[in-house]
Structure 1
Amino acid sequence: MGGYARLYPHARVHTLVFLGFFITTFEVPAIAMLGYWFLIQLLGGLPALAAAGGGVAFWAHIGGFLAGLFLVGSFVNPQYYRQRA
């Protein structure tokens, strides 16, 4: 997801929203949705720093996101990316 955020920061995604009995969709920037997801993971993992156990999945998600964000550049063929972006 971090790689997607870096390669396509202006992409838009449709999000399903439940408002009681009313269900609708909103189109939001992918970078905003991924930032929200990252924040949820970070807030979920912080209590694990003070506790003796748990929280491994939150930190694994954060690590994977950051690895994708920083490493995706080394896997992208610049000519192919310019044609598709």
Structure 2
Amino acid sequence: MSTKQITVPSEYAESVLGMIEQRIREIGKTYQGPKSNQDDLEITAFRAMARQLGYDFEVMSNADGFAITRHVYKPVE
């Protein structure tokens, strides 16, 4: 994964986070655990983007795919 930064005007941050969340939900519909390495990489990249906007996602498997919780990102110190 690269260390490139993205720039999103603050008025669009919520929309971008919503798109990320929606894509992660779509991935969850076909996710196959250990067979989903590419999906894992995509989710990791999306979470890195969200962190740049000050948020992160907790992604948990459930019967319908993924349950996602958005929260404020706080780096570990």
Q: TM-score range by the shorter chain?
A: 0.3 to 0.5
Q: Which has the higher contact order (CA 8 A, sep 6+)?
A: 1
Who wins on radius of gyration, i.e. which is larger?
1
TM-score normalized with structure 2 length: 0.37
Higher normalized helix content (fraction of residues) = 1
